[in-house]
Amino acid sequence: MIPGGVNSPVRAFAAVGGDPPFVARGEGCEIVDADGHRYLDLVGSWGPLILGHADNAVLGAAMTAASRGSSFGAPTELEIELAEEIVSRVPSVDKVRLCSSGTEATMHALRLARAVTGRDLVIKLEGCYHGAHDAMLVRAGSGVATFSDGRATTEPGSPGVPAAVAALTLVAPFNDADAVEDLLRRHKKDVAALILEPVAGNMGTVAPLSGWLERLRELCDRYGTLLVFDEVMTGFRLAKGGAQERYGVRPDLTCLGKVVGGGYPLAAFGGGRDLMDRLAPLGPVYQAGTLSGNPVAVAAGLATLRQLDDDAYARLESIGARVEAVLAPAAAYHGCSLARVGSMFTLFFRAKTPVRFADVLECDLAAFARFFRAALNEGVYLPPSQFEAAFLSVKLTDDQVATIADSLASALVAALVD
């Protein structure tokens, strides 16, 4: 009754073989499936669960909010508190609008960028994923790449996306400023926005090369194009203020999701006051949502962000470093590579760490599938695709961190001798 048995394609095991476990419950950093198997969870609902499952404070906040009513379609006080929390953390955001999914956040941010600039074209980067709306299903990562049948390298990335819509989306390789400059020069005064994941997670973890984000900022300023950071994955994960704090580059618009809702359906987009005040009802740019700023999700998001202090980010960094210390040498020994930024990491079945999508496409996907299955046998639940990042939680105990590192190192060996 459910196409492929899943309500989002990335949950299927089509790329790695077998059927996904049906999850019965989560406890801390583990999930337990319907057959009673326990796994250390490195998917974390694809990013939101930085505090693990059913964190006490998050659960309490959500239950209190739900007991007062699930949704009003009218403003509530906690929305102001969450907006204050976001604005105080994210360097480039003066004002923020809440919505329900990352897809909505990028869709609305791009509409705003087009409205403000009066331009139609947008540039996205190969292998980045910004949600499942038409304009962004062009050379996209994540599930589009995983199930691509070659579509990952063509445009549009899905049947049903009109060619005329896809033609408004220009693409350049990740980490290639010259290619972006070339597009901006060729389409002078026509490019509304450049949207990217400042650290890519949707083609596996791919870090920005030194100086690249700064160069994109300069190029956007020079050509009057708005720089949009899609921090749905990196926001509140890589630093208190996201990748823009970590790398010291300020975008014009920022998209947020995942961690901001603490595992509940919540996302956001924000930016400078001048831009955000163009949204209805202050301005003419229409954007709306029945469940936007849902009180239960807002309470959960707030209870999540309030636990993410400097100590939490220091702990995430040290957990990531410990996993890397074991896995990176093992990967190198076996002709693979480990990419890690903070609490996001990917083991690539390719000797050199990828810097762009074309590099990731060279990975040995059959070996990844064997690695994934061996890890699952060891009790570690990874994202079931080479084109995804694994996520570490701040709540992992020292023993769990050691188990993850050792189990993945064993799974690597099993994948390569198979």
Residues interacting with ligand PMP, by CB under 6 A?
A: 46, 101-103, 106, 129-131, 142, 197, 201-202, 230, 232-233, 257, 267
User: Which of the following is catalytic: 39, 129, 223, 313?
Assistant: 129
Query: How far is residue 308 CA from its own chain's centroid?
Result: 18
What is the residue-wise DSSP string for 263-276? TSS-EEEEE-HHHH
Distance CA(136)–CA(75), nearest Å, equals 31
Q: Choose between 156 and 263: whose C-beta lies nearer to ligand PMP.
A: 263
**Smaller CB separation from ligand PMP, 103 or 353:** 103
Task: Give the nearer residue to ligand PMP in terms of CB position, either 145 or 232.
Answer: 232
Residue 333 is a catalytic residue: no
Question: Which position among 258, 313, 359, 381 bears the catalytic label?
Answer: 258
Count other C-beta atoms under 10 Å from residue 320's C-beta. Answer: 18
Q: Are 63 and 264 in contact (CB under 8 A)?
A: no
Q: Are 276 and 42 in contact (CB under 8 A)?
A: no
Judge whether 232 and 255 are in contact, CB under 8 Å: yes
Beta strand 344-348 with 390-391 is antiparallel
Give me the least distance between CB of 105 and ligand PMP, in Å please: 7
Handedness of CA 349, 350, 351, 354 (dihedral sign): negative
User: One-letter amino acid identity for 96?
Assistant: V
Centroid of chain to Cα 316 = 17
Q: Which is nearer to ligand PMP, 393 or 407 (CB)?
A: 393
Which strand (E) or helix (H) includes residue 344?
Answer: strand 344-348
Active site residue 240: no
Q: Please say which residue, 385 or 400, places its beta carbon nearer to ligand PMP.
A: 385
Active-site residue (options: 41, 55, 230, 252) = 230
Minimum CB separation of residue 414 from ligand PMP in Å reads 28
Angle among Cα 292, 295, 297 to the nearest 5 degrees reads: 75
Min dist. Cβ of residue 346 to ligand PMP (A) = 13
CA distance 23 to 6: 12
Q: Cβ(137)–Cβ(290) under 8 Å?
A: no
* Locus of tokens 């955001």: 93
CB of 202 vs ligand PMP, minimal distance in Å: 5
Q: How far is the CB of 385 from ligand PMP (least distance, A)?
A: 12
Closest CB to ligand PMP among residues 13, 129: 129
Structure tokens at 412: 């690597």
SS3 assignment, position 94:
coil
Q: Is 230 a catalytic residue?
A: yes
Distances (CA, A) of 112 to 109, 222, 279, 307, 359: 5, 20, 7, 32, 33
Rounded to a whole number of angstroms, the minimum distance from the CB of residue 152 to ligand PMP is 16
Residues designated catalytic: 129, 230, 258
